[in-house]
Amino acid sequence: MKLDPDLRFMILEKVGIYSARFGIEEPKILLTTKEVLDMPKEITQGRRTSAYKYLGVSYMQNNLVFINVRKIPDEKTLENTIVHELIHMRFQYLSHGKRFNKLVRQGLAGKTFKPYQKRR
């Protein structure tokens, strides 16, 4: 997909809606690899220079999500990626697998979750 102001707005709007449904603080959203590289290294370490390989990356400790719009082919994949990354933010202890995928499907279907308090 090609990033333009309308697409940026739509993504931020969806992130706001899903964040509220999932009971999490709305994360800061990065939409280009340049935005990832412009962040301080300590914030994006671990997946700084490889972020371009993924559809999305969650930097959980900093409440930051990268959505790689250039790699996403269509709106359905975009929505799935947004939900996938926000499920990571909500269920930080959970790895990819059956339970994780079930939560993504439930999120896409409109399920809401109780507010989550991050431990600091």
**Domain 5-108 falls in which CATH fold?**
Zincin-like (3.30.2010)
Share of the chain above pLDDT 70, in %: 96
Place of tokens 């709007």: 13
Q: Is the predicted pLDDT of residue 73 greater than 60, yes or no?
A: yes
How far apart CA 120 and CA 110 sit, in angstroms, is 29
Share of the chain above pLDDT 90, in %: 78
How far apart CA 111 and CA 105 sit, in angstroms, is 9
Would you state the structure tokens that stand for residue 15, as one six-digit string? Answer: 């992130």
The sheet with strand 28-30 has its strands ordered as: 28-30, 64-67, 56-59
Q: Is the predicted pLDDT of residue 6 greater than 80, yes or no?
A: yes
Q: List the domain boundaries for the chain.
A: 5-108
Would you state the structure tokens that stand for residue 72, as one six-digit string? Answer: 């996403």
Q: What is the pLDDT of residue 106?
A: 97
pLDDT, tens digit, for every residue of 89-116? Answer: 999 999 999 999 999 999 999 999 988 7
Neighbours of 60 (CB within 10 A): 13
Q: What is the pLDDT of residue 40?
A: 93
The predicted model scores a pTM of 0.92
R_g (Cα) of the chain, nearest Å: 14
